[in-house]
Structure 1
Amino acid sequence: MNTYIDVVIRTIVAFIALYVAARILGKHTVSRMTIFDFIAVVTLGSVTANLSFALEIKARYIFLGLVVFVVLIYLSAYLSLKSKRARKFVAGDPTVVIENGKILEHNMKKMRYTLDYLNQQLRQKDIFSVDEVDYALVENNGMLSVKKKEQHLTVTRKDLSMYKPEVKLPIELIMDGDILQNNLKENNISREWLQTELIKRNLSAEKVVYALLTSSNKLYIDTHDDQLKSPLDVE
């Protein structure tokens, strides 16, 4: 087999193997990084080390492997940006570990997430008793996001002026121009209502980057055209 082709094939196989290994190890193994970030860091570090110390391997072959990895990482990031399905495949979905105050042992078992680690991450958020938690999700980067029960929330000025009833989780309605049919169905939200709200704002779903029904039943919409004259963060 041609040496160059051999290097390309071995590099792709190594990339896939790292992805599978990271998935098997679970989210808490790559805490603060997504699985994709973890693969990129490990891979680029290994290739660079070989470039420095593997003198028996010709430098051009290592450079070829490095280029292939960079291209794979770039293509994965690009596809994630363009496709929700690709984004889900590359980064995965958050995993619910507590719902309505109940610990979901089955979800924790699937990602090898222990009660000790759950309690550790709760303590890092100044929560020392799991019964204070309404919802908790392990994000793609291994971090824990928590919504406390209403009676354990910190009192705000708004709370002092009026009673605040139990709130629900926000509901994502549109992402990257696609209406999330499952979310509408699961929450008894009609597509006609959403279309009517968009028409009121002279919008179509294709123009919407992100639409969210907030906990207070307000519709938040972000469009592709933000109409910012002087953006603060421009690359």
Structure 2
Amino acid sequence: MSDNIEVIIRTFVAFILLWSFTCILGKQTIAQKTYHGFIASITLGTIAGNMAFNIKINSWHFVISLLIMSSIIFLLALIALRNRKARKWISGEPTVVIENGKILEHNMKKLKYTLDSLNHGLREKDIFNIEEVEVAMVEIDGSLSVLKKPHYRHITKKDLSIVTPLVEKIPVELIMDGEIVEKNLIQKQLSTDWLFQELLKRGLNVKDVCYAVMGTNGQLYFDLYNDRISKPIDQE
């Protein structure tokens, strides 16, 4: 077998294995929300990358390495799920950097978190005056969560005594790419006959529809393949 063919085969195998292990380990590995999730993403990617092109090492060694690393990650995630104390050690915990409007320099120092980083995180929250902040904490994924002081917070519907429905419906996708999403119809106890009736009212066929959804207000929205726009805007 030539080196080029071996690299191609190993690349496909590495991708399939990495994809499979990621599906098993869950979405947290992709999001890298925890210490072990971050380490897992780097390590698994490195192993899979080497497996693809490093033909000097037996491919089975990489497979064994991927299996062992995935098992460790899965075990840590399982322990973190069932034990709160262990979860703090495995995943870490948020750290308060501003309390009662005061910067906690000691906590900042422990995190190696600079004032520049703090100001940058606040600006991302549209806060340019630190005096607006009541509490701020650095989450385990490094992001900054902020609670503003009461008089700087946005007005809510509750503040204005605006009554809204207690339960809002989740949007339901009915047609995607010209095909009926049967699973969603069944889950929401809707029939295909009802959907065909709605299409008939609008003079439409399923194949005419690119996307159809029932919104939170219960109204139907249809986007057609033929939008009847004579000069559509084309972003180059």
Q: Shorter-chain TM-score category?
A: 0.5 to 0.7
Match in the other structure for 1:14: none
Contact 1:33-1:141 within 8 A present in 2 as well: yes
Please tell me whether Structure 1 or Structure 2 has the larger radius of gyration of its CA atoms. 2
RMSD: 1.9
For residue 139 of structure 1, what is the aligned residue in structure 2? Answer: 139
Q: Which residue of 2 aligns with 1:34?
A: 34
- 8 Å CA contact 1:32–1:143 kept in 2: the answer is no
Letter paired with 1:133: V
The alignment partner of 1:73 has SS state of helix
| Deviations, residues 105-158 of structure 1 (Å, cap 9, x unaligned) | 111111111111111111111111111000001011111111100111112343
- Distance of 2:128 and 2:151 partners within structure 1: 15
Alignment partner, residue 110 of structure 1:
110
Deviating runs (4+, > 4 A) in structure 1?
A: none
Inter-CA distance 157–74: structure 2 relative to 1 (3 Å threshold): closer
SS at match of 1:38: helix
Figure out how many residues of one structure are paired with residues of the other and give that number: 133
TM-score, length-normalised on structure 1?
A: 0.53
Written as runs of structure 1 = structure 2, the 5 A alignment for 1:50-89 is 50-89=50-89
Q: Quick one: distance in 1 between partners of 2:83 and 2:104?
A: 30
Higher relative contact order (CA 8 A, sep 6+): 1
* CA–CA distance in structure 1, aligned partners of residues 96 and 118 of structure 2: 12
Offset, 1:85 = 1.4
Match of 1:43 in 2: 43
The alignment status of 1:92 with 2:103, answered yes or no, reads no
TM-score scaled to structure 2, two decimals? 0.53
Structure 2: tracts of 5 or more residues without a match: 1-30, 162-186, 189-236
Per-residue CA distance 1:165-219 (angstroms, 9 max, x = gap): xxxxxxxxxxxxxxxxxxxxxxxxxxxxxxxxxxxxxxxxxxxxxxxxxxxxxxx
Partner of 1:124: 124
User: Following superposition of structure 1 onto structure 2, how do residues 198-213 of structure 1 map, counting pairs within 5 Å?
Assistant: none
Q: Distance in 2 between matches of 1:160 and 1:69?
A: 53
Alpha-carbon offset, residue 160 of structure 1: 4.3
- Give % identity: 48
Task: Tell whether the 8 Å contact from 1:101 to 1:134 is kept in structure 2 after alignment.
Answer: yes
Residues of 1 paired with 2:83 and 2:62: CA distance?
Answer: 31
